[in-house]
């Protein structure tokens, strides 16, 4: 699973940071979290295709998180996308997508399914789910967690051979949790030749928010927490007034939630040349802290 930061700035773009958007490539699917202005151009630079199976998750209805959606939809239509697109977000997202479709003069080549959602499980797939929790911003803001379901345990071929299971399709069925019957009538259970189920991966994205107990709960044990840190600690009062977090506040969320890695994003334009103070402040609380940069990609590996 690859996470690519298409945009990492907050409020206004800079010469180094586009507005916020995060792409998660999982197998043959692309999950896009927020769509700041110019996201479709960042997707070109990142070589993230926009024709693939895709879902979009909007955290809240501020412009720097949604104004790239009209351009993205138009670009996909001009490229003759035929696959439907699902868009999830808080109240207002249905009206906004309807406005895009009805007010911009281009021929839509694909169906858009728009879902207004709240806290809880908002999407349940075969291999993963998307859960949401409310943050603490000046308008309603959703944080999202991508939670993979448990994978089958490790397969032990030597055990299968010892039990007389011939190599081939029966092995495949056993690897995928199915019990099989041998020609001599014996039934071999999958659990006899596989280890315990392995935990899936978990990624959490906060959107815009002050420190939130609900987001801490949502983030428990995550492999990766992507949390906004608009300002450094010297501007804590301003951050609180505007519904944002400082670097140390984001780090404390990561520490309380017991996550493995924290990446700070939604960086104010005042830090165009130097973000070192934010890293220093956060790492005093949570050492595994990093600052997102535009087009930066990281792999979130499978667990053994």
Sorted by where each begins, the domain ranges of the chain are 2-151+198-299, 157-192
User: Is 107 one of the catalytic residues?
Assistant: no
The whole-number pLDDT of residue 37 equals: 96
The whole-number pLDDT of residue 51 equals: 78
CA nearest 275: which of 9, 2, 90, 62? Answer: 9
The whole-number pLDDT of residue 123 equals: 97
The whole-number pLDDT of residue 294 equals: 97
Q: Average pLDDT for residues 189-203, to the nearest whole number?
A: 90
The whole-number pLDDT of residue 235 equals: 97
The first and second tokens of residue 263, run together, are: 């990446």
Q: Which of 129-143, 168-182, 249-263 has the lowest mean pLDDT?
A: 168-182
Kindly state the percentage of the chain with pLDDT values over 70. 100
Catalytic-role residue among 64, 136, 208, 294: 64
* Phi, psi for residue 62 in degrees, rounded to 5: -85, 145
Question: How far, CA to CA in Å, does 266 sit from each of 53, 108, 176, 247?
Answer: 26, 31, 41, 11
Side by side, the strands of the sheet bearing 85-89 are 112-116, 85-89, 53-57, 29-33, 21-26, 2-7, 297-299
For 2-151+198-299, CATH number out of 3.60.15.10, 3.30.1330.10, 1.10.1200.10, 2.60.40.740 equals: 3.60.15.10
The whole-number pLDDT of residue 154 equals: 85
* pTM tops 0.85: yes
> What band does 105 get if pLDDT is binned at 50, 70 and 90?
confident
Say yes or no to pLDDT of 194 above 90.
no
Look over the chain and give the mean of its residue pLDDT values, rounded to a whole number: 95
Q: Average pLDDT for residues 95-108, to the nearest whole number?
A: 91
Say yes or no to pLDDT of 303 above 90.
no
């Amino acid at each position: 699973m690859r996470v690519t930061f298409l945009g990492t700035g907050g409020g206004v773009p800079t010469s180094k940071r586009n507005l916020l958007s995060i792409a998660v490539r999982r197998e043959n699917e692309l999950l896009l979290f927020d769509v700041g202005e110019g996201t479709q151009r960042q997707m070109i630079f990142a070589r993230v295709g926009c024709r693939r199976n895709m879902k979009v998750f909007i955290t809240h209805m501020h412009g720097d998180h949604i104004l790239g959606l009209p351009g993205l939809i138009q670009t996909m239509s001009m490229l003759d996308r035929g696959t439907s697109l699902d868009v999830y977000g808080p109240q207002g997202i249905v009206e906004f997508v309807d406005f895009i479709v009805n007010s911009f003069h281009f021929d839509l080549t694909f169906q858009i399914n728009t879902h207004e959602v709240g806290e809880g499980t908002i999407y349940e797939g075969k291999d993963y789910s998307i859960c949401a929790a409310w943050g603490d911003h000046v308008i309603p803001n959703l944080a999202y967690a991508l939670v993979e379901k448990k994978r089958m345990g490790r397969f032990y071929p030597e055990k299968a051979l010892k039990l007389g299971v011939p190599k081939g399709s029966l092995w495949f069925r056993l690897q995928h949790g199915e019990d099989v019957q041998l020609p001599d009538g014996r039934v071999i259970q999958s659990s006899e030749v596989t280890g315990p189920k392995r935990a899936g991966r978990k990624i959490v994205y906060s959107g815009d928010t002050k420190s939130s107990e609900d987001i801490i709960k949502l983030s428990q044990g995550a492999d990766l927490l992507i949390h906004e840190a608009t300002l450094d600690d010297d501007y804590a009062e301003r951050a609180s007034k505007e519904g944002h977090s400082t670097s140390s506040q984001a780090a404390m969320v990561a520490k309380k939630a017991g996550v493995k890695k924290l990446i700070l994003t939604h960086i104010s334009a005042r830090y165009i040349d130097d973000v070192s103070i934010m890293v220093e402040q956060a790492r005093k609380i949570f050492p595994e802290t990093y600052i997102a940069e535009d087009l930066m990609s990281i792999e979130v590996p499978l667990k053994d």
